[in-house]
Structure 1
């Protein structure tokens, strides 16, 4: 039987990977946003947003389904060989369908100016399929994933700084994005033989996977509608690449925050699925830990970034992007709700096989988002798109909270929510002091983050917050150990 990996070690590796996903954009985005400008950046982002629909069809919910079901049988090599072969076979079929529809869509006149970019991004369809990323998540191979990601991110960074020199180099910029995201997938496929033996097949047995997979696919599609449709509709309604470019800058910075929580889910979700078959109480404890960690960190991060939106945009994107400050502040409010929704939908519902609940929740959000986008974008542009996204997330939260009340009542988190909000007072006060003193952007960010963080955790210690106290005790225990 496979040796169970340390959840803490897994989290460290996945957090390292996430930190690279945060640090590298912090290095590259100031350069690319200034060299390309809002218009070229908007052109790339619009093409990528439209490409998302075809990559979703290629994925067909296979990733989420494979991680959930594969984690339960990963100790049985024979079952895993059959299961992995089924997943790859289905994925190749969905990839072929995605390519057929993609080439048909290129005939749409509205996409005429984006065809070359979309053709470049279309390589992610086949590369994502053969990358079998879900297999490495099933076996919790986060060390390999981290090292692999680092290598290809460095390659993309070198290409960016050496090859992207003007607005006309936006195609090279798009290529660096492809290399960074799926450049290593051929290596993934070759290395997968260490875990399973693939046998491509088309048989009636594949049908047993399609129904539960279709629910997760519907969930992914609906998620994309309210995560990507805002940019698609913004570009389509306004016809302005600059408007999309400004909005993309705010989205990229907001995604830095949500990426931290993606790392948390990526590590805990396979373990929860694994434990559901062996120790349900332990699985529920992991769910509770996840929810409390979200509240502990997403409240101060979102409030801090809300305050610092103008300084962060000016420092990392440039003065051309300051017009998106209010939009970014709205998206910071969205971070608080969206990260918790991800827990409810992707961890709680999916792991407990409540696929219908998960799908319905995100469909509600998608419908809300599309309807409000149609009303707000013509009047308020990018600000309307951001406000519609927040409303969509709130709609999902209300529905999911009601459905989850017996599985995980969120009312049990009320006291911790109050603690986090009160503990954010030093963050707001420090920012106001720096703004009043008219410090530079860099100094304002540094002081607000450092002093605010110290003040936040000091107040949480005074509240005797369980997570913070336990964390301190574990740190003390680690450093007090003497070598044997």
Structure 2
């Protein structure tokens, strides 16, 4: 018992306890969302079939591409500032809320304009896109989750988002059992965004006595946020484009059926993408503090992070490659069987995605957001060109192949820039199995991590 209490005391002193506690909440929410999303997504895919699923996914892709405007794409910067400038938290949050609300209006206009240009002859797709676009007006309330993240209290965000996720999942199941039309699922998407905003507001008001500040707007702060964050905003916008460009280009160059097949594959391939975001969202404050304490400690933590991302992503990719046929057959049934080959190809993008998310934190902390934009632009350009070449020939498989190659090009384009070249070499060395073993041992033996 004494040994346990001593270990607990060490964890509290080093800050690892709060990191682990906060991470466990984020991982819990991510796992719940992934399990619920996959389970309900499977029911929806089986119910709608590839054609209708393709229509719903096409509309969701358009909204996803412009959704970054509503979210500003600067969340990492905002969390960093909230950690560093505790005396200006109310000003930062209030100003960010106003900026996000302005971005939401722009995003909605862009979504509606785009769908009329691309699919004006498809009334169903246009209607679904407009309904889903309205959900972006609730995204500004996510500033509450940024505040909870900055004080390492993400459990309130987890409770709010899990509540909305589970409730909306129940609504979708009810729609399936009642043979609801396709457009009904778009209305549930809007309801989920509203429920999340209401729940976040509730927890913030519940803790208002502990908060000790009020939201304020300051024009100079808004200018500073935009001036510092526009490279990251453009980078995030580019990332959203090339995470969704394949679906939109499939819809334009192939068919709704191909979009449905590709979407079914993505639900399995991308279900693991929450893992790096879950760990890194809690780790960011510790990386910021480590940089202030010691450059060696800072680099050490980054290297351990890359090693862990490699180990995790390679394990996922091998597992999916070996069992893709069985997974697709069991999960979706015979009508989606052609998604297995697409899944076997797309899963190898996982390694590049995990390393890309991890290295993005380095760029944010070092104020190298311009490089984030440049490498995303490089990946986006490669993705669009290869999609245009391969989709007309191979359909969904061509889109998967183009996406995998473009992700690696984007992640390792860090080597093109002098200020990030050293990090790229560290990432490359992380691939070596011996390094993985050594850094795992080092992480276990280093109490300061």
Q: TM-score normalised by the shorter chain: which range applies?
A: 0.7 to 0.9
For each residue in 1:151-195, what CA deviation from the matched residue of structure 2 results, as whole angstroms up to 9, or x when unmatched?
222212221222223775323333444445563212323544533
Q: Residue 237 of structure 1: which of 253, 266, 286 is its match? A: 253
- Deviation of 1:128 after TM superposition, in Å, equals 0.6
C-alpha distance after superposition, 1:371-425 (max 9, x if no partner): 1111111111111111111111121133124543324622442432x688xxxxx
Q: Deviations over 1:45-89 (max 9, x none)?
A: 10000112331222222323212322222xx2x311222222122
Give the structure 2 partner of residue 116 of structure 1.
127
Separation in 2, partners of 1:209, 1:198: 16
Once the two structures are superposed, what CA deviation does each residue of 1:79-125 show, in whole Å capped at 9, x if it has no partner? Answer: 11222222122222222322333444454361443122112212321
Structure 2: any 5+ residue segments left out of the alignment? 1-12
What's the CA shift for 1:279?
4.8
The answer for the alignment partner of 1:223 in structure 2 is: 239
Do the aligned residues in 2 keep the contact of 1:18 with 1:259 (CA within 8 Å)?
A: yes
Q: Is the 8 A contact 1:44 1:117 kept in 2?
A: yes
Equivalent in 51, 74, 84 of residue 72 of structure 1: 84
Q: Distance between the aligned counterparts of 1:99 and 1:470, measured in 2?
A: 45
Q: Does 1:198 align with 2:209?
A: no
CA distance in 2, matches of 1:128, 1:27: 25
Match of 1:87 in 2: 96
**1:465/1:215 Cα in 2 relative to 1: closer, same or farther (>3 Å)?**
same
Residues 1:54 and 1:402: Cα distance change in structure 2 (over 3 Å): closer
TM-score (norm 1): 0.80
**Paired residues for 1:307-318 under 5 Å:** 307-318=322-333
Q: In the alignment, is residue 364 of structure 1 matched against residue 364 of structure 2? A: no
Q: Post-superposition shift, 1:465?
A: 5.2
What corresponds to 2:4 in structure 1? none
Structure 2 partner of 1:38 = 50
| Displacement after TM superposition at 1:333 (Å) | 1.0
Number of residue pairs matched by the alignment: 421
Question: What residue in structure 1 maps to residue 275 of structure 2?
Answer: 260
- Does the 8 Å contact 2:38/2:271 carry over to 1? no
RMSD over equivalenced CA pairs, Å? 2.6
Answering whether residue 296 of structure 2 is matched by residue 296 of structure 1, we say no
Q: Aligned equivalents of 2:187 and 2:429: distance in 1?
A: 46
Looking at structure 2, the residues matched to 371 and 53 of structure 1 have their Cα atoms a distance apart, in angstroms, of: 18
* TM-score (structure 2 length as normaliser): 0.86
